Structure 1
Amino acid sequence: MTSRLMVQRVVIFSTVLLSLIFAVMPMTLTLAAWRPEWPLLAMIYWIIALPHRVNIGYAFLVGLAVDILLGSTLGFHAAAYALVCYPAARHYPRIRNFSLSQQALLVVLLVFLARAVVFVLEHYLNNAPFMLHYFWPAISSALFWPWVFLIFRKIRRRFQMT
């Protein structure tokens, strides 16, 4: 394995690890309701930027890590992340050509879908009640998407990741 490939793997792993840290970072209750889905944003970016390096299996593993960190039933976030990252992986050439605002609209849909999958599983298996604020992170994730995209792109270009 070349050192360049190793550096690329470390960079991807580091950004995903940082997104997992942001996912569990302490916040006030009012801000925590709007917390973006940082790990899912990282996975969406890496899947559309480097689909030959990051795939749906990687998204599944990140979802398992989110399940463990958040203390939710094991596999709920993993299934949601894999389900949501499939369209991103399938249509990555088209998504790359979208403007940032179009990508943000797509992120709203993907994060909403992921949250809906987790909610449905929680509702039917753990009898979770419906609360509207459960879907607010879809909006905040879309608002943060342009910054995530630009920062990750700068990192990808800095380390010449292709």
Structure 2
Amino acid sequence: MLPVSLLLALLLGLVPLPSLLQPLRPYWLALVLAYWVVETPDRVGLGFAFAAGLVADMLYGTLLGEQALRLVVMTFILQRFRARLRFFPMSQQALAIGGLLVNDRIISATLHLAVGEPVLPWAYWWAPLLGMLLWLPMFVLLDAVRLGRRRR
């Protein structure tokens, strides 16, 4: 299920959106990767996050290594606080994921400034809020699929 969910997350990042909705696009790859880091830390770690980020960089045509760095930082923080995060209620988990997604935007903006690329407009800072709101349904869906496959 892990490869399929990552592939779907990568494809959702490619879906064209109207220019009005473009700033609200959640970082699907980060959300899916966060789920797998929290639920199966023995299968998904820093190396996996780096590889997934490089694939995303090549697929989306972004600065090579940008998403890899962003996902590695997120994975490191999740691994560090995984034990605590698993026992949070879902509302607090969503807040923590929202904080990680804001941190991701800060890293992205810093990288863009460092290499002289234009920084995304302020409207793009709404995407972490949407990602935070999507955490619960996405977590429940991936958990149901993962646990459903195990019971068979």
TM-score, normalising length: structure 1: 0.88
Residue number in structure 2 paired with 1:28: 18
Residue number in structure 1 paired with 2:31: 41
Residue number in structure 2 paired with 1:159: 149
Residue number in structure 2 paired with 1:127: 117
Work out the CA distance in 2 between the residues paired with 1:65 and 1:137.
21
TM-aligned CA distance change 1:124 to 1:22, over 3 Å: same
**2:89 counterpart of 1:99:** yes
Secondary structure, counterpart of 1:26 in structure 2: coil
Residue number in structure 1 paired with 2:44: 54
String of CA shifts for 1:92-148, please: whole Å, max 9, x gaps. 121111111101101111011112111111111033245212222101100111011
Runs of 4 or more consecutive aligned structure 1 residues displaced over 6 Å after TM superposition: none
TM-aligned CA distance change 1:158 to 1:130, over 3 Å: closer
Residue number in structure 1 paired with 2:127: 137
Work out the CA distance in 1 between the residues paired with 2:120 and 2:142.
34
TM-score, normalising length: structure 2: 0.94
Identity across matched positions, percent: 28
Higher mean C-alpha displacement, 44-53 vs 117-126? 117-126
Q: How many residues align?
A: 151
Out of 126, 133, 139, the residue aligned to residue 149 of structure 1 is 139
Work out the CA distance in 1 between the residues paired with 2:82 and 2:109.
27
**Any unmatched runs of 5+ in structure 2?**
none
Secondary structure, counterpart of 2:132 in structure 1: helix
**2:34 counterpart of 1:79:** no
